[in-house]
A and B are shown apart, each in its own frame.
Chain A
Amino acid sequence: MPKAETAALVVKRVLPFPAEALFRAFSDPAVMNRWFFAGPGWTADASNDFRIGGAYAIRMRSEKGDVYTQQGIYREIVPGRKLAFTWNSEGVKDSLVTVTFASVKGGTEITLIHEFLTADKRKSHEEGWNGCLDNLALAGSRGLLP
């Protein structure tokens, strides 16, 4: 799918650590709890069923005690190389996060792509919308419209 067709965010970072260790930071709840939260003073409580089709949830708790939960399903797991999972949170449903880990000079380049209009979602939207148009046409053909 051409990039211009999706609303996506790309964040890249080169870190001087091996890909395996960084992959583990994204997949082992014990490590995720130490960085995967919204900011200073927050805590995270991650749990996962780390297999394709398995679910994960990260409960982030603010300093004031407010809890926000991010959750989704693993779509792709290539140990040490790639991870893709759906991302659902307050206000964002069925977005997709793809993280790749590439060995480069000086460490590992992490590329994170967060797509807010996934192919699945677009399809369900278009089907829903075409359904509406079909119903409208049907209503029109039966003389139900003014």
Chain B
Amino acid sequence: MVDNKSAALDAVLVALADPTRRAILKSLARKERTVSEIAEPHKMTLAGISKHLMVLERAKLVVKRREGRIQHCRLDPKPLRSVAALLLEYKVFWESRFDALERLMRETHPKGNPDA
């Protein structure tokens, strides 16, 4: 579904829009960590970190696994591909539109106007 895809993409964009969440993702890129390990470098309560983790989980960037009373978090980088693909797709789209605009302008304004 287009809307689900769009909602999933929005969830990833929102997740990436916060510096604490970006730092959490970076720390998880190296290895799986427990919630308290993730919280440690941040001057934040466990509840505050949990909120950020929920946003990351909702974007499917973080997957939790429970071992007894301990929760382990790991990074799933797959959703990041959708953002990279989107930016690349639109980069190509706009660059090629500018090429087409330039061609059209050269046809319709053969002398151009360098002093504009």
Contact = CB atoms under 8 A, between A and B. Distances in A.
Interface string B81-107: 001001100110111111011111100
**Interface size bracket, A side:** 35 or more
Interface in A89-107: 90-93, 103, 106-107
Contacts of B10: 93, 117, 121, 125
A114 B88 CA distance: 12
B98 A13 contact: yes
B105 A39 contact: no
Given A21-B113, A107-B116, 10 more contacts: A18-B116, A22-B105, A25-B101, A39-B96, A91-B2, A91-B5, A91-B9, A125-B10, A126-B14, A129-B55
A116 B88 CA distance: 13
A73 interface: no
Given A90-B2, A107-B112, A107-B113, A122 B90 contact: no
Overall SS of chain B's interface: helix
A92 B109 contact: no
22 contacts: A13-B98, A15-B101, A16-B112, A16-B113, A17-B113, A17-B116, A18-B116, A21-B105, A22-B101, A34-B104, A35-B97, A35-B103, A35-B104, A38-B96, A91-B2, A91-B6, A103-B116, A107-B113, A112-B98, A116-B13, A116-B86, A117-B10
Contacts of A39: 96
A7 interface: yes
Interface of B: 2-3, 5-6, 9-11, 13-14, 16-19, 51, 54-55, 58, 83, 86-87, 90-91, 93-98, 100-105, 109, 112-114, 116
A5 interface: yes
Interface of A: 4-7, 9, 11, 13, 15-19, 21-22, 25, 31, 34-39, 90-93, 103, 106-108, 110, 112, 114, 116-117, 121-122, 125-126, 129, 133
